[in-house]
Amino acid sequence: MATPTQATPQNTQPYPAMYLNLVQIAESFGVSEKVVEDWIRSEGLPHIPERGRVLFDRAQVADWAAARGLAAQAGFLAPGTPAFSTGWRLEPLLRAGGIWRDVPIANVTEIYAQVAGRLPGSTPPVRQLLAQRLRAPGGVTAAPVGHGFALPHLSTRVALGRDSGSLALILLREPLPLSDPPPDDVPITRLFFFIAPSPRAHLDLLGQLSRALSRGPLRAAVLRGASDDELYQAIAQSDVASPGGASPAAKS
């Protein structure tokens, strides 16, 4: 996984820090590179062709995303501004998905499916379809966010309705195997797996979780091995501390 200071195979020449490449933009939003290419063609995502590659100006991308209500993952753009405030309440989502402890790697995919199987606000056929996608090869993408945390989520976006989101904290018995090492080289042993109600909510929740885990009570509580009740309290504090404060119940 490329970081803002690393070159990618298709970009071996240095470029100013204000610019990002295709891989970094995809990681920033938690989507595939193809989705970013589609945004260029159909959504007017600002970009700069340069020597056979595509670069993106940070400020232009931030403005483009803000106009569409899209949240960006912490560290790449500027998620702390009011334009990126989402107000999704994480505490009820976590209570829906639950806290899973001492989970062996071999059981992780089945837990993903179980979380989908009890997704609130959805029908049994929808829950069954989600479970099938989660069990399929390549059905889950895990985005490392540092400090041993990652944010697994469906590789394909779904539209479920605003009341169908879920979030699960999965504490692993051994590190999660990854094709590339985490950005800070800390083994991944803590997963916040989420299912978002819509593609737009997916981006919002990805950014909100990234911010909550970059600092603050939630990250501290998980790292010190807090009890379930303490974790629910910590994530509630993160809801209140997030940009714009806690949202109305309609967004829970």
Asked if the structure places residue 1 within a domain, the reply is no
Order of strands, sheet of 166-172, starting from the edge strand that comes earlier in the sequence: 99-103, 166-172, 190-195, 149-154, 140-146
Q: Say if residue 91's pLDDT is above 90.
A: yes
Query: Residue 217 carries which side chain, given as an amino acid letter?
Result: P
Q: Please report which helix (H) or strand (E) contains residue 90, including its range.
A: helix 90-97
Asked if the structure places residue 252 within a domain, the reply is no
Contacts 24+ apart (CB under 8 A), 50-56: 50/15, 51/13, 53/10, 53/11, 53/21, 53/22, 54/21, 54/22, 55/15, 55/19, 55/20, 55/21, 56/19, 56/20, 56/21, 56/22, 56/24, 56/25
For residues 27 and 102, membership in a common domain is answered with no
The domain spanning residue 52 has which CATH number? Answer: 1.10.1660
What's the total number of domains in the chain?
Answer: 2
For residues 222 and 107, membership in a common domain is answered with yes
For residues 154 and 202, membership in a common domain is answered with yes
Give the DSSP per-residue string, 199-211: HHHHHHHHHHHHH
The mean-pLDDT minimum among 72-76, 143-147, 198-202, 244-248 falls in: 244-248
Asked if the structure places residue 206 within a domain, the reply is yes
Helix axes 108-117, 124-135, angle to 10 degrees: 160
Domain final residue pick, 45, 63, 84: 84
The overall average pLDDT reported for the chain is: 78
Asked if the structure places residue 3 within a domain, the reply is no
For residues 31 and 107, membership in a common domain is answered with no
pLDDT band at 59 (very low <50, low <70, confident <90, very high): confident
Domain final residue pick, 63, 84, 105: 84
DSSP one-letter code for 225: T
For residues 115 and 132, membership in a common domain is answered with yes
Q: Say if residue 71's pLDDT is above 60.
A: no
For residues 128 and 145, membership in a common domain is answered with yes
Residue-level pLDDT at 105: 96
Asked if the structure places residue 131 within a domain, the reply is yes
Q: Say if residue 151's pLDDT is above 60.
A: yes
Q: Please report which helix (H) or strand (E) contains residue 75, including its range.
A: none
Give the list of residues 6+ apart from residue 32 with CB closer than 8 angstroms, or none: 26, 155
pLDDT band at 178 (very low <50, low <70, confident <90, very high): confident
For residues 98 and 54, membership in a common domain is answered with no
Q: What are phi and psi of 206, to 5 degrees?
A: -60, -45
Query: Can you tell me the mean pLDDT for 149-176?
Result: 89
Burial status of residue 126 (CB atoms within 10 A of its CB: 0-12, 13-18, 19 or more):
middle
Domain final residue pick, 53, 84, 115: 84
Q: Say if residue 97's pLDDT is above 50.
A: yes
Asked if the structure places residue 213 within a domain, the reply is yes
Print the domain residue range for 72: 19-84
For residues 136 and 27, membership in a common domain is answered with no
pLDDT band at 246 (very low <50, low <70, confident <90, very high): very low
pLDDT band at 248 (very low <50, low <70, confident <90, very high): very low
For residues 76 and 113, membership in a common domain is answered with no
Tokens of 235: 């994530």
Burial status of residue 21 (CB atoms within 10 A of its CB: 0-12, 13-18, 19 or more):
buried
Asked if the structure places residue 158 within a domain, the reply is yes
